Structure 1
Amino acid sequence: MANIGIIGAGISGLSVAARLTGLGHHCTVFEKSRGLGGRLARRKLPWGQLDIGAPFLTPTLEETHDRLAHFCRAGILSRGRLQRARLVSGTLYEAPAIKAYWANHSNNEICHALAETVKVIRQRRIAAIAASANGIIHLSDDQGGSCGDFDAVILSAPAPQTLALLPETSTLRGQDFPEMQPGWTVTLQFEEALGLFNHQQVIDFTADEPLVRGVDLATLRQGEPLHCYQFQLSAPFSQLCRNGNEAQTVEAVMAALARHSALPPLANATVQPWNLCRLEKPGPALNILDSAHNLVLCGDWTAGDSGIDAALTSAERAVDAVTRLLERQRELPPPLYSP
């Protein structure tokens, strides 16, 4: 069986690693951060532990529902409807409930479950990919250290980071890589419940607002700090926040909320700068396989969108591509050696 390196321990990278491991291959996942999960990561703060990425999952594909059902049976996810309202010109209007999955304790449990059978090396940033004449790929980290040799490598990172890693001669460079927009989130904990939410779990804001969506985290899962709300910022507002500091971002979000509701005293706040979050123009990557360098692309952006459907679809596409690649390698004649 093959030795496969995977760059990135988000849900796409871990899903493809788990699938290939189940097929008998040896997979090693390299993650530049301390934790797993990418945009499903969890952060430990002085005032509590928080899911700093997507608070819930909203699949539309039947295949995704089938895969998430496994995590429901394992007690990791729950499935149901979230009460939602739309805020229009300062008035809340009832909106259709959201059919969603959410973690009973932490979204990160999904990633840890996927990683149970996979070797994951954390805090190791891959900086160079070098292919040899015999098809073996060598990975090096940003300190110049060797990370090993592999029969194939899967890049499961955002588009700009993937492009920066690809060898100059890779055929994968011959396509347009999508621009990615920021989508920051701000989590606020108040001393009392935020009256704006009332009995709603989710509030969607109109297009002219700097905020896109707010979620009452404490109503989703056990163990979340009380009166804790996550707010997703629009791409233009996120871009503006990149020029300021965390305190200025929190102040701007508080000012946006204060236009619609009286605010109780703020107890705690944290900002998560997701700078590579959404595709500017949705559309799948035309080519994810470079058979000359034994490289495969993965990640939701390669499936043309952001979200759980695209993430898991990209993992299945990557598994198929690696399988084709390895079958082709087995068909090739052995290299000739000069005496």
Structure 2
Amino acid sequence: MTEIGIVGAGAAAAATAYVIDGARPNADVTILEKSRGVCGRAATRRRDEITYDYGANYVKSDDERVVELLTETLDDEGLVDVTEPIWTFTGDGEISEGRDADEHKWTYRAGLTQIAKRLLRETNATIHLETRAETLSRDDDGWQVTDADGKSWGPFDALVLNPPAPQTADLLDDADWDEDVRADLLDAVRDVDYSSVWTALLHYPFEIDRPYYALINTDREHEIGWVAREECKPGHVPDGESLLVVQAGHEWSADNYDEPADRNVAKLTERTAELFDDERLADPDWTDYQGWRYALPEEGVHGGPVQSAEDHDLYCVGDWVAGEGRVHAALRNGLDTGERIVYRV
């Protein structure tokens, strides 16, 4: 039986597992995920009757294969499309109609985590949550992974790494395998730069009436990089209420990442009220937050070392491999990687 190990349960990993299971139903796929849920930064929370995507906001229709996956291949029950446009604003807070370039902005009534959940539901993969991979090694029997509790997993005929590039680099740093290939891959992975994003969620017991779904800062001169109205997603927010997803720009996020959360929420709330020119927004009735230290890759990894690692049955997947910090890019990369594994292993 073919044994496949996957570290991380993000969208790309789920797509990889989906392809492998579909083509090789007898393969045994084991997924080790450090958190309590799947789909990585395409994350969803629920509070009372409210569902909100607090990381990635939606999947756009920029890839035909991903469009087919979401709308035809997988069960599309609960798939919803945000129809309101995205407008722009500048560092001085001037809002413009802008250009809404995304033909579709998809999520699910139950939130973006449904992407990974639905992909994995179609497989026989075994998922171990709250299991943090710590060390990797490879010998004649294949790949082994040791977790933070000292438990060994494997041997695997192929191993897939889905964490963000800096966390993948940590795993590769002392991995026990071919030293030249390891060193080249490690250097390439370390060269991938990331933007950080600090997110505040602001709830109001009234509806915010605006002609747009979201605002995006175009000149990177504002503390806020993005603010979206979650109530524009069907099924997410009850009528008569509003929930703003406020994502700070990279510079502000990096400078304030380790500051107290209540301070950061207060500052972003103040700036949001100013941007919307609505003093009511300075007083949300409840808030939430999340920091994403490795949110968006600035560029993709150099392909040569990644391909060389695949000759040793080690595969890297994710938006940082695709070179675009978008959910559709991660999904497509996972689908493509799954096909290569099926072909080679």
Report if TM-score (shorter chain) is over 0.5: yes
**Alpha-carbon distance between aligned partners in 2 of 1:111 and 1:173, rounded to the nearest angstrom:** 31
Aligned to 1:211: 224
**Alpha-carbon distance between aligned partners in 2 of 1:292 and 1:60, rounded to the nearest angstrom:** 30
* Superposed displacement of residue 317, structure 1: 3.3
* Bigger shift: residues 120-129 or 283-292: 283-292
User: Which of the pair has the greater relative contact order for Cα pairs under 8 Å at 6+ separation?
Assistant: 2
Residues 257-280 of structure 1, C-alpha deviation per residue, up to 9 Å, x if partnerless?
A: 233312323111111101111123
* Bigger shift: residues 142-151 or 120-129: 142-151
Letter in 2 for 1:58: K
Residues 285-317 of structure 1, C-alpha deviation per residue, up to 9 Å, x if partnerless?
A: 333242564211111101111112320232133
Q: Which structure has the larger Rg? A: 1
Aligned to 1:174: 184
Residues 57-111 of structure 1, C-alpha deviation per residue, up to 9 Å, x if partnerless?
A: 1231222222222377521322463322223444432233342212122111121
Question: Is the contact made by 2:42 and 2:327 (CA closer than 8 Å) also made in structure 1?
Answer: no
Aligned to 1:332: none
Alignment of 1:92-241 (within 5 A): 92-97=95-100, 98-99=102-103, 100-116=105-121, 117=123, 118-132=125-139, 134-166=140-172, 167=175, 169=179, 171-175=181-185, 176-177=188-189, 178-194=192-208, 198-207=210-219, 208-224=221-237, 226-241=241-256
Letter in 1 for 2:38: L
* Superposed displacement of residue 193, structure 1: 3.1
Match of 1:263 among 267, 274, 279: 279
- Runs of 4+ residues over 6 Å off in structure 1: none
Question: Is the contact made by 1:13 and 1:299 (CA closer than 8 Å) also made in structure 2?
Answer: yes
Alignment of 1:1-339 (within 5 A): 1-24=1-24, 25-45=27-47, 48-70=50-72, 74-79=76-81, 81-88=83-90, 89-97=92-100, 98-99=102-103, 100-116=105-121, 117=123, 118-132=125-139, 134-166=140-172, 167=175, 169=179, 171-175=181-185, 176-177=188-189, 178-194=192-208, 198-207=210-219, 208-224=221-237, 226-260=241-275, 261-264=277-280, 265-282=283-300, 285-289=303-307, 290-291=309-310, 293-326=312-345
Letter in 1 for 2:328: D
| Helix, strand or coil at the partner of 1:40 | coil
* Superposed displacement of residue 219, structure 1: 1.6
* Superposed displacement of residue 171, structure 1: 1.2
| Helix, strand or coil at the partner of 1:221 | coil
Question: Is the contact made by 2:227 and 2:244 (CA closer than 8 Å) also made in structure 1?
Answer: yes
| Helix, strand or coil at the partner of 1:183 | strand
Flag structure 1 segments of 5+ consecutive residues without an equivalent: 327-339
| Alignment length (residue pairs) | 323
Q: TM-score scaled to structure 1, two decimals?
A: 0.87
* Bigger shift: residues 230-239 or 219-228: 219-228
Letter in 1 for 2:303: A
**Alpha-carbon distance between aligned partners in 1 of 2:18 and 2:98, rounded to the nearest angstrom:** 38
* Bigger shift: residues 119-128 or 173-182: 173-182
CA gap of 1:246–1:69, structure 2 versus 1, over 3 A, is: same
Q: TM-score scaled to structure 2, two decimals?
A: 0.86
**Alpha-carbon distance between aligned partners in 1 of 2:44 and 2:327, rounded to the nearest angstrom:** 17
Flag structure 2 segments of 5+ consecutive residues without an equivalent: none
How high is the sequence identity, in percent, across the aligned residues? 21
**Alpha-carbon distance between aligned partners in 1 of 2:273 and 2:53, rounded to the nearest angstrom:** 25
Letter in 2 for 1:203: L
**Alpha-carbon distance between aligned partners in 1 of 2:320 and 2:127, rounded to the nearest angstrom:** 22
**Alpha-carbon distance between aligned partners in 2 of 1:158 and 1:248, rounded to the nearest angstrom:** 27
**Alpha-carbon distance between aligned partners in 2 of 1:101 and 1:319, rounded to the nearest angstrom:** 23
* Superposed displacement of residue 135, structure 1: 3.7
Question: Is the contact made by 2:52 and 2:236 (CA closer than 8 Å) also made in structure 1?
Answer: no
Across the aligned residues of Structure 1 and Structure 2, the Cα RMSD in angstroms comes to 2.3
**Alpha-carbon distance between aligned partners in 1 of 2:119 and 2:32, rounded to the nearest angstrom:** 14
**Alpha-carbon distance between aligned partners in 2 of 1:213 and 1:199, rounded to the nearest angstrom:** 16
| Helix, strand or coil at the partner of 1:213 | strand
Letter in 2 for 1:246: A
**Alpha-carbon distance between aligned partners in 2 of 1:31 and 1:302, rounded to the nearest angstrom:** 19
